């Protein structure tokens, strides 16, 4: 049993038949758009067909006579898509508003330019390197200079103090933020009630101190700062953790899917 046979290609349309088809399609499309127009045709030497759209009741918004626009370009694209069907000889249609469009100019690739021949220039003689003078001995540092450089080590000693403050934000003295304190207490109560673990990340050290002070006295949850530097966060650990329902867990390798 032989396979499906491809249909033979459609016969090529004559110039008169092609122009009549273009006129019929353009008239229908412009009528549906509400902008009827008189059509002016002209054959282009490259084989395409140029059409001028002379709108009878005014051009659409954004369309100017003799200039390209998105409306005319979209109409041209749609018309060529409808004309260039499989098995039909392709012939492009160019549209212009109020005037015939200019023919398309095909860009020829630039000819390669041969590099100029390199002139043979004899290498210049290298000058003799001058003798290096012995480097002068470095002067011994003056006692006064050493006395001035000694206090520079003081800021380095402040780094351990800063890290110690970050490790225990509760010791910082900060102003109260009522909205942040209320949100922190609600999150602590939610962690205690549901048995869920929560964490607040990407916070300033002052905001972490406000959160830790706001949750003091909330029963059933332990709140503390964990991590260092940018990775430091406030973690809410419930006193009685509760397992997640199975529908929130990923299936194991030996399971077929989720359970309802």
Rounded CA-CA distance 230/116 in Å is 59
Reported as a single tens digit per residue, the pLDDT across 95-126 is 999 898 887 665 556 667 666 666 565 666 67
**What average pLDDT score do residues 43-55 get?**
89
pLDDT, residue 164, reads: 59
Q: Domain 165-238 adopts which CATH fold?
A: Ribosomal Protein S8; Chain: A, domain 1 (3.30.1370)
Chain segment 147-203, per-residue pLDDT in tens: 455 455 555 555 565 565 566 788 888 998 999 999 999 999 999 999 999 998 888
pLDDT of residue 116: 67
Give yes or no for residue 82 having a pLDDT over 80: yes
pTM attached to this predicted model? 0.38
pLDDT, position 16: 87
What is the mean pLDDT of the segment spanning 62-88? 86
The full set of domain ranges for the chain reads 15-97, 165-238
């Amino acid at each position: 049993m032989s396979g499906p046979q491809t249909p033979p290609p459609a016969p090529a349309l004559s110039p008169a038949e092609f122009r009549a088809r273009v006129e019929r399609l353009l008239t229908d499309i412009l009528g549906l758009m509400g902008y009827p127009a008189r059509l002016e045709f002209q054959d282009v030497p490259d084989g395409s067909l140029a059409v001028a759209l002379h709108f009878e009741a005014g051009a659409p918004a954004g369309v100017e006579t003799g200039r390209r626009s998105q409306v005319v370009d979209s109409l041209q694209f749609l018309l060529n898509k409808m004309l260039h069907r499989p098995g039909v000889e392709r012939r492009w249609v160019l549209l212009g508003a109020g005037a015939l469009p200019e023919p398309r100019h095909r860009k020829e690739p630039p000819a390669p330019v041969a590099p100029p021949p390199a002139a043979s220039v004899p290498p210049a003689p290298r000058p003799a390197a001058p003798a290096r003078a012995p480097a002068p001995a470095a002067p011994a540092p003056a006692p006064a200079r050493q006395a001035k450089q000694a206090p520079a080590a003081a800021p380095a000693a402040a780094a351990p103090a800063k890290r110690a403050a970050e490790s225990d934000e509760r010791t910082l003295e900060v102003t109260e933020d009522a909205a942040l304190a209320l949100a922190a207490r609600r999150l602590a109560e939610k962690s205690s009630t549901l048995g869920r673990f929560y964490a607040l990340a990407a916070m300033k050290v002052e905001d972490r101190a406000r959160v830790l002070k706001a949750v003091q006295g909330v029963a059933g949850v332990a709140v503390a700062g964990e991590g260092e530097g940018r990775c430091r966060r406030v973690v809410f650990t419930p006193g009685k953790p509760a397992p997640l329902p199975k529908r929130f867990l990923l299936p194991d390798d030996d399971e077929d899917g989720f359970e309802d």
